[in-house]
Each structure stands twice: as structure tokens, then as C-alpha cells.
Structure 1
Amino acid sequence: MTVSETDAKRHLLMSPARIDRTITRIAFQIFEDTRGSDQLLILGIHERGYLLAVMLADKLSEIYHTKIKVCPVRVKEHGAASLPEDQDVSDAARGSKVVIVDDVMYSGRTMFEAIRKITTDGRPEEIRLAALIDRGHRRYPVELRYMGLYSPTKLKEHVHCRFTDEGKPDGVWLMASLSDTT
């Protein structure tokens, strides 16, 4: 269940400028870890993770002075029906150093499913995980290598990363149900 903005108390965690600085920092961290690799692939978890992955790939392309490949990866969430494939990500990942990007990491389930999906048929050289926000509350054995902000939350709080219609980040908010604050 999603908490609507009218039913929640909001607190700004990251402004658009801070998001941009954070993506730049993560890009330099990835560059330091993968320097010399010509097989870098950035995978963004559909949909907000992919928007961040595109930003990250653009920053990395500037640093590497070459185009960095970015692809969306779709995973089933909470019993949803199968999603159509944008492309075969396991083929793209084969032999690559892969960074999987999402906007918010909570239990780790989505990242776990993404890892399972790309390793089903492909065999990446390595997989690293990145998220703009880490909420804690891990239930799956996944660890972020690159993180923008660690913000442990209460179970009934939500973190929402918003984007403009043009796909640019509009901010990250911590949202608490009004019923939890009274």
C-alpha cells in the first residue's frame, strides 16, 4: 500500500542538487573500482532505478570518455504478473562488470530478484549494487557497494524518490503516515 502525499507527513531527505552530487560521487567510486574495464554495464531496476542508472551512466561516460552501456531490468514485485522483457539482460551482462541500480533499498528482495534474473543464463564477471537510499530492514542476503544515503526508517515510514516528467530527479522524501504521528 502506498501512502499518498495528502495522507502523509513529508520530510525532504535529498534535494535535486544533492541527488546530482551523490550520483557524481557514486560514479567516481565505480570508476575507481572498475578502472581499465571495457566491459562495464549499468542495469537500472525499472522504473526509478533505471532513471538513476541513466544519470549514472552519463556521468561515467564523461569520466571514461566513452559511452557506458545502460539497460533496464524488470523484476516481479510482490506477486505481480510477469513483466515483458526490454531486452535480454543476461546476454548483455555476460562477461561484464555489472552495477545494478535502484532508487531505494529496503528488504533487498528486488535486488535479489534482479541478481537472480541476470545470472539465470548469463555469467557476469562481477555484480555490484547501488542505491540512492538505504532504509535498512534487510531480509535478503544482499549488500550495497555504493550508497547515497543511509536512512534507517520505521516500518510504517516510506521513502519516495520523485522524478519530473522529463525523468530528472525532483527530490527524495521520507513519508510517515499521519496516523503514526498522532
Structure 2
Amino acid sequence: MNTKAVILDEKAMNRATTRISHEIIEKNKGITDIILVGIKTRGIPFSKRIAEKIKAIEGKDVQIEQLDISLYRDDLSEVAENPLVKQNQFNIDISNKIIVLIDDVLYTGRTVRAALDAIVDNGRPKKIQLAVLVDRGHRELPIRPDFVGKNVPTSKDEIINVKFKETDGSDEVTIIE
């Protein structure tokens, strides 16, 4: 596999995170009742970064939850013969809250669909919004993000590789062939 292009470097990722954070605040007229939910794996560090930016802007903490959607995947049988199934349980009541679901890359929409199922199983939020660092297209389900760091048209043969310092030791987004 060869790196075709660097789409976002560390500075560009920081700018995208700052912009998305401002957009979340503006769209919701503040941060009252907002809960950020990061999808495992790279949605979690991205959600923490957004929370840090929001705190710097608003001067208040925003609640963060983590979501492991493995139980909700529609391709479990393709992943393993006996897949590991985990129960999701948020630490707080999400009823009547605004959930901002956060992931690194939006592709087919299947991960987001699974995350929506998991969220609804944990309560009835007032609203669910979607924030992604990269939207690469090729949707298989009618899912559209509310907040996007960068739209990157790709072919189905290409891979978007997102790295965060917290999980990978560096910050960058690349296209791999």
C-alpha cells in the first residue's frame, strides 16, 4: 500500500476541529444539554479534542461518552464466527439531550446506523447530530453529517487513513492506494 496524498496535516486537523467545535456551539445556540459521543476507536480521541475546544470557547465542560458499536454491526458474521458482543451503557441519562455522534471517517454509513441503534437502546435523545473529520462519500444508507472537517472524493479502491497522536503517535489524514 502506498500513500497517495496527505489530506490533512496536524495544523489542518486542528483547524477542522476548531471549526467543527464552533459549528456545534452555533447550531445548538450554546452547549446546554449537549453530550458528545465518540465511536470507538478514533471517534473517541476526536470527541475529546472537540470537548477541549468547546471548553476553551465556552469556558464549560461538555459531557463525553464512548460508544462501542460491535454489538450493533450488521456484518458481525463476516467479522468472526463467534464475535465478541459488548453491552453499551452510558454513564448518564441521554433522554431529552442533544447527542453529537462523532467519528473519524464517514463512508458507507453502516457504522453510523449501528451507532444510532445503540444510542436509541440507551435512551431517547431530543436530537442526534453527526460530526466527522472526513466524509469520503460512497454512502449505502441515507445518512448525512451535520458537521464535516473535510469532504474528500475517493474511489472505492482507496483507503482513508486517520491518525491521532493519542492512538497512533502522530496527527494526519492520508489517502492510501
SS across alignment from 1:93: coil
Gap change, CA 1:83 and 1:46, over 3 Å in 2: farther
Q: CA deviation at 1:152?
A: 1.4
Kindly provide the amino acid, as one letter, of the partner of residue 10 in structure 1: K
Taking a change above 3 Å as real, the CA distance of residues 169 and 27 of structure 1, as seen in their structure-2 partners, is: farther
What are structure 2's unaligned runs of at least 5 residues? none
Aligned-partner Cα distance in 1 for 2:40–2:175: 21
For 1:104, give the aligned amino acid: V
Deviations 1:75-134 (A, max 9, x none): 12531424434x613954222111001000000000111011101240001000010000
- The code of the aligned residue for 2:126 comes to E
Aligned residue type for 1:173: T
The one-letter code sitting in structure 1 at the alignment partner of 2:25 is: F
Q: Is the contact made by 2:42 and 2:167 (CA closer than 8 Å) also made in structure 1?
A: no
Aligned residues: 169
**What is the DSSP-based 3-state SS (H/G/I as helix, E as strand, rest coil) of the residue aligned with 2:50?**
helix
Aligned residue number for residue 162 of structure 2: 161
Distance 1:44 1:54 in 2: 8
- Specify the alignment match of 1:130 in structure 2: 131
Q: Calculate percent identity across the aligned residue pairs.
A: 26
**What's the Cα RMSD here?**
1.9
Map Cα deviations across residues 113-165 of structure 1 (whole Å, 9 max, x no partner). 10111012400010000100001000112110000111111111000101225
Q: What SS class does the counterpart of residue 66 from structure 2 fall into? A: strand
Contact 1:97 1:125 in 2 (8 A): yes
TM-score scaled by length of structure 2: 0.87
| Distance across 1 between alignment mates of 2:153 and 2:62 | 32
Q: Please tell me whether residue 84 in structure 1 is matched to residue 78 in structure 2.
A: no
**Partners of 2:165 and 2:171 within 8 A in 1:** yes
1:51 and 2:45 correspond:
yes
Query: Alpha-carbon deviation of 1:61?
Result: 1.6
Residues 90 and 134 of structure 1: CA distance in aligned 2, closer, same or farther (over 3 Å): farther
Unaligned 5+ segments in structure 1 are 1-6, 177-182
Q: What TM-score results when the alignment is normalised by the length of structure 1?
A: 0.85
Question: Do the aligned partners of residues 167 and 92 (structure 1) sit closer, same or farther apart at CA in structure 2, a change above 3 Å counting?
Answer: farther
